[in-house]
Amino acid sequence: MRAGPDTMGKSQTRATRQRGVALVTALLVVSLATVAAVAMATRFQIDLRRTGNLLNGEQAYAYALSAESWANVVLREDLRESKHDSLDEGWSTALPPIPVEGGFVNGRVEDLQGRFNVNNVVKVGGSVNKLQLEYYKRLLDLLGLEPELAPALLDWLDGDINATFPDGAEDDEYLRADIPYRAGNRPLVDVSELRLVKGYTPEVILALEPHVTVLPVPTPININTATPIVLQALHAELDESDIEQLIATRDETAFTDLKEFLAHDALAGLEIAVATDIKTEWFSVLTDVSVGRGRARLESILFRKTGRPQIVSRTRTAKRIPDDENEDEE
């Protein structure tokens, strides 16, 4: 018995639908496979680039440590050859960009005692050092900063909880902040901690940074490397012309005797009350390295008194070099 026309038409329609479903299913499978393949390839590229960045970063850090070792050797040789430290010596000359495999290394050594150690404001026991506090006030004035910053810093550093009248700040001031915290009541460890002290805005810290440092022990100012502002703050009666004379003298020939400095015409009749020196024990080594897409900065603090300089601390930061000049750094 033959199927009728209606039955044959229905069978053909069903077969056509089945072929359509099979085709759609096949296209869906191909699409999913394509998406999966693209995702895997993209993830592979990301992982490959991330691995490359990590390797470049580690290479950059290794080069930075090598530059630190170079500075260590230079400072050790300088200690053997010279009894003073000045800006005309080899250690103070910044390294030109040195090509290394895949990038460049830059490095320089800075004399931290050419700046004012803000921890000097208090004595070792935590009480105020009046001479150093007065020096700091003069430094603030020369930088055009508010004098109220000095007592605020004093209260942060000293060992008590009594606010200095009228501009000091202790716990009662800081506990009223949006995010409450207490006064340090101890020496600073890094200049960046100043942002926690009352009145020390980013603008204030930016103005201070070239002229101040933070060291764990009281330190004198090296008059051979001090900035002009740091020198001028040595006495209230010193003016810019006096400092120009001092700098012109040390640029011609560094001071090799502190008495020679104190007898200079620019200081005639003036008594310098804060500690000064012609040599330095504390240095900073700043190294910038770029390797491939990686870039690293290493800041090392070195203490040099006798023999091999000791590395007191290392601060490492790292950034990725953008794909092009218009891409923002991460």
The closest of 87, 72, 91 to 222, measured between CA atoms, is 87
Task: Tell whether the model's pLDDT for residue 326 goes beyond 50.
Answer: no
Sequence spans of domains, the chain: 116-209
The predicted pLDDT at position 133 comes to 97
Contact 71, 299 (CB under 8 A): no
* Residue with the larger pLDDT of the pair 101 and 326: 101
> Strands 310-320, 294-303: parallel, antiparallel or unpaired by DSSP?
antiparallel
* Residue carrying the six token digits 């080069």: 63
Task: Tell whether the model's pLDDT for residue 130 goes beyond 70.
Answer: yes
For 217-265, write each residue's pLDDT tens digit: 999 999 999 999 999 999 999 999 999 999 999 999 999 999 999 999 9
Furthest C-alpha separation in the chain: 135
* Residue with the larger pLDDT of the pair 117 and 8: 117
Percent over 90 (pLDDT), the chain: 65
Task: Tell whether the model's pLDDT for residue 328 goes beyond 70.
Answer: no
Task: Tell whether the model's pLDDT for residue 320 goes beyond 70.
Answer: no
The predicted pLDDT at position 268 comes to 87
Query: Residues, the chain, total?
Result: 330
User: Kindly report the CA angle at 26 between 21 and 30, in degrees rounded to 5?
Assistant: 150
Average pLDDT of the chain?
A: 87
Contact 75, 302 (CB under 8 A): yes
* Residue with the larger pLDDT of the pair 327 and 1: 1
Task: Tell whether the model's pLDDT for residue 317 goes beyond 90.
Answer: no
The predicted pLDDT at position 43 comes to 72
**d(Cα 243, Cα 231) in Å, to the nearest integer?**
7
Per DSSP, 43 falls in state H
For 132-189, write each residue's pLDDT tens digit: 999 999 999 999 999 999 999 999 999 899 999 888 999 999 999 999 999 999 999 9
The closest of 112, 181, 318 to 173, measured between CA atoms, is 181
For 9-67, write each residue's pLDDT tens digit: 666 666 666 676 777 777 777 777 777 777 777 776 666 666 666 788 788 888 899 99
Task: Tell whether the model's pLDDT for residue 108 goes beyond 70.
Answer: yes
The predicted pLDDT at position 319 comes to 55
Q: Which CATH number fits domain 116-209: 3.30.30.60, 1.10.40.60, 3.40.50.12160, 1.10.10.60?
A: 1.10.40.60
The predicted pLDDT at position 165 comes to 87
Whole-prediction pTM: 0.81
